[in-house]
Copies of this chain bind each other. A is one copy, B any other.
Amino acid sequence: MRQDAVQNRERVLTAAEEVFGAHGVDAPMNEVADAARVGVGTVYRHFPNKQALIDEIIGARRRQLVALADAADSQPGGMAFEWLLVQVGHLQSEQSGCLERLWDHSEAELASLDDFRRRLAMLLTDAQQAGRIRTDATPTDVSMIFWSVREVVRVTRSVAPNAWRRHLELQLAGLRPAGDAAPLNHPPLTDAQARRIMRATS
C-alpha cells in the first residue's frame, strides 16, 4: 500500500473516533471526511461503508475491553470485579458517542465479547465469595449496569463528565450483600434474553 494511503487511513480512523465520539454515530460521513482533511471518496476507499468504519472503531474498543478483563486478574483480593466495572466506565466515557453500539453484536461478533463476559462472570463469582457482592446478583445485572452507565455518560458528559462515577458508586452500593435490605423481588434477565437483547439493539 502506498505510504500516503496508509497515513490517510489512519487519519480517517482518528477523525471518525473524534467526530462520532463527540456527536454520536449519527454524525454525517462528510463531517468525518472534513475532520480528516480528506474527501469523502477517500473515506470510502478505505472503508466500504459507514458501518464498516464504526465496526473498526468498536472492534478496537472491544479488544480493550477484553484486555481490561485480563488486567483485572492482577487486582488485589475480591476487588477485581469492582475495579473492572470502574474501568469499563472509563472506557465508555471516552469518545462516548462511538460506543452507543459497544454492547450490540451480530452473531458473528458475539464470540469476541463472550470471552469478556466469561471473565466478568468469574470475577463476579469471586467477589461474591469474598463477600463483597450480594449472592443473588447475576452477570445480566451487570449488563444492565453497563447500559445504564452508558446512558448516564451520554446525557451528562457535556456538562459533568464525571457524573457517571457517582452513578456507578450507587449501583455498586446496590450490589453489596444485603444486610437488612429486602431480597430482590424481580428475576434477573436470563442469558438467552440478554443475548437476544444485544442482537436486537443493533
A residues near B (Cβ < 8 Å) are 134, 137, 141, 144, 147-152, 155-156, 158-160, 162-163, 165-167, 169-176, 178-181, 184-189, 193, 196-197, 200-201
Rounded to whole angstroms, the CA-CA distance of A150 and B155 in the bound complex is: 12
User: Are B144's CB and A200's CB within 8 A?
Assistant: no
Least CB distance from A97 to B in Å reads 13
User: Are A147's CB and B141's CB within 8 A?
Assistant: no
User: Are B169's CB and A185's CB within 8 A?
Assistant: yes
Other A-B pairs, 20, CB within 8 Å; known A144-B156, A172-B174: A134-B173, A141-B166, A148-B151, A156-B193, A158-B197, A159-B196, A159-B197, A162-B186, A163-B186, A163-B193, A166-B184, A166-B186, A166-B187, A166-B189, A169-B186, A170-B175, A173-B175, A173-B178, A173-B184, A179-B179
Rounded to whole angstroms, the CA-CA distance of A139 and B83 in the bound complex is: 27
What are 23 A-B interface contacts by the 8 Å CB criterion?
A141-B166, A141-B167, A144-B156, A144-B170, A147-B151, A147-B152, A151-B151, A158-B197, A158-B200, A159-B196, A160-B189, A163-B186, A163-B189, A165-B185, A165-B186, A166-B187, A169-B184, A170-B175, A170-B184, A171-B171, A173-B173, A173-B181, A179-B180
